[in-house]
């Protein structure tokens, strides 16, 4: 599902820029003053070039796939996960852990499926924690690599905006003796590169990087709940203990909702 917040924020940002550039939507001719392909090329190509130098090609190939995650709504819910784990704990306690095996095919989350397979196989709880947390550390490393790309894009774009401005100032000063009247337009073009760099940094790269970091934190919490539930089940904890422990990962409002559902059920 598309993350409407990210899309709405991007569109609102574009609207704010257009609104300002066209003087309250009254002078659309102003837009032409903010268009300069050469300035945009300096900022965009320079930013991409520096990022290519910073990261290996194998990592750069994932840039669009990683960035897309900022505009896609995550499908996991901590509340639903806890209810699922409590249900599994109850089945394992009452009917035996082998009864969970037939339910693994319905799980769409690979990490949860592997965790429940560990429960079915009866692995030692300490070994299971080490195994799953090692897998989690690799996920964290992979996510961090994707975030780093946008973090550096964010750093490089304003820098190349300033480089473009300095280039424009040099050209402007060279032309001062020939045509003093051209100083104004030349200065305008020089500043455009800083403008482009600021837009790319603050409307595109910084928000995407921040959203990816938030997505990462949420997913790590989701995975940690899975690990704790798995370990509790391996330690033969009853469903009440599993529920009580895992609810500690939820904010108060969601805890109250879970309690209300349990009372109604």
Q: What is the pLDDT of residues 51-69, one digit of tens each?
A: 999 999 988 988 888 898 8
Predicted pLDDT at 200: 96
Q: What is the CA radius of gyration of the chain?
A: 27
Helix axes 252-264, 78-94, angle to 10 degrees: 50
Q: Using an 8 Å Cβ cutoff, are 229 and 82 in contact?
A: yes
Distance in Å from the first CA to the final CA of the chain: 30
Q: What percent of the chain has pLDDT over 70?
A: 97
Structure tokens at 235: 């330690």
**In this predicted model, what pLDDT tens digit does every residue of 127-138 receive, in sequence order?**
999 999 999 999
pTM attached to this predicted model: 0.85
Beta carbons of 184 and 149 less than 8 angstroms apart: no
Q: What are the structure tokens assigned to 186, written together?
A: 């030349």
Instruction: With beta carbons less than 8 A apart as the criterion, state whether 207 and 67 touch.
Output: no
Exposure class string for 21-55: b at 16+ Cβ within 10 A, else e: beeeeeeeeeeeebebeebbebbeebbbebbeeeb
C-alpha angle 58/61/65, rounded to 5°? Answer: 130
- In the predicted structure, residue 178 carries a pLDDT above the cut 80: no
Q: Give CA separation, 91 vs 123, 137, 145, 153, in Å.
A: 18, 30, 39, 49
pLDDT class of 235 with cuts at 50, 70, 90: very high
Kindly indicate the confidence band of residue 182, based on its pLDDT and cuts at 50, 70 and 90.
low
């Amino acid at each position: 599902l598309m993350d409407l917040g990210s899309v709405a924020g991007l569109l609102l940002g574009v609207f704010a820029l257009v609104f300002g550039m066209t003087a309250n939507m009254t002078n659309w001719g102003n837009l032409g003053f903010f268009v300069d392909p050469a300035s945009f090329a300096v900022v965009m190509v320079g930013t991409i070039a520096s990022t290519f130098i910073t990261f290996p090609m194998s990592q750069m190939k994932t840039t669009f796939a990683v960035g897309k995650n900022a505009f896609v709504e995550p499908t996991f819910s901590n509340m639903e996960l806890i209810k699922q784990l409590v249900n599994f704990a109850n089945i394992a306690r009452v009917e035996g852990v082998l009864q969970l095996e037939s339910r693994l095919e319905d799980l769409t989350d690979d990490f949860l499926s592997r965790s429940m397979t560990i429960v079915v196989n009866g692995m030692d709880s300490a070994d299971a924690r080490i195994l799953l947390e090692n897998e989690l550390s690799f996920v964290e490393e992979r996510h961090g690599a994707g975030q780093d790309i946008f973090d550096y894009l964010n750093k490089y774009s304003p820098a190349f905006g300033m480089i473009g401005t300095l280039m424009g100032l040099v050209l402007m000063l060279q032309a001062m003796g020939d045509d003093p009247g051209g100083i104004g337009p030349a200065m305008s073009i020089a500043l455009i590169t800083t403008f482009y760099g600021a837009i790319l940094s603050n409307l595109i790269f910084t928000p995407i990087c921040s959203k990816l970091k938030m997505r990462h934190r949420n997913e790590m919490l989701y995975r940690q709940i899975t690990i704790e539930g798995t370990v509790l089940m391996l330690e033969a904890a009853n469903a009440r203990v599993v529920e009580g422990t895992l609810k500690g990962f939820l904010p108060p409002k969601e805890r109250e909702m879970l309690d209300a559902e349990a009372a109604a059920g």
